[in-house]
Amino acid sequence: MHKVKDALEIAIRNTGGVISSAGIILAATFAALTTMPIADLFVFGFMVSIGILIDTFLVRGMLLPALILFFEKDK
């Protein structure tokens, strides 16, 4: 059984590339909406793409692991 910090490092090492790739692909899919001539689709595609990238790299990459370590019960 691993401590929380060690388990978190293993989990990030093993899943980080997959999560990052999926986030980039999903953001690119929604970014394709920015090529549409309709202004509402442009705004929707742009905002969702930016939101997915923020979620992928900031929230799941930094904020969530930091919160897990902050609130761990193994202290």
Give me the mean pLDDT over the 16-31 stretch: 96
Give me the mean pLDDT over the 15-20 stretch: 94
pLDDT at 1 over 90: no
User: For the stretch 36-68, what's the b/e string if a residue is b when 16 or more beta carbons lie within 10 angstroms of its beta carbon?
Assistant: eeeeeeeeebeebbeebbebbeeebbeeeeeee
DSSP 8-state code for residue 60: I
Cα distance from N-terminal residue to C-terminal residue, the chain: 15
**What pTM, to 2 d.p., does this model score?**
0.84
The mean pLDDT value of the chain amounts to: 93
Give me the mean pLDDT over the 65-72 stretch: 93
pLDDT at 74 over 90: no
The first and second tokens of residue 10, run together, are 């293993």
| Percent of the chain predicted with pLDDT > 70 | 97
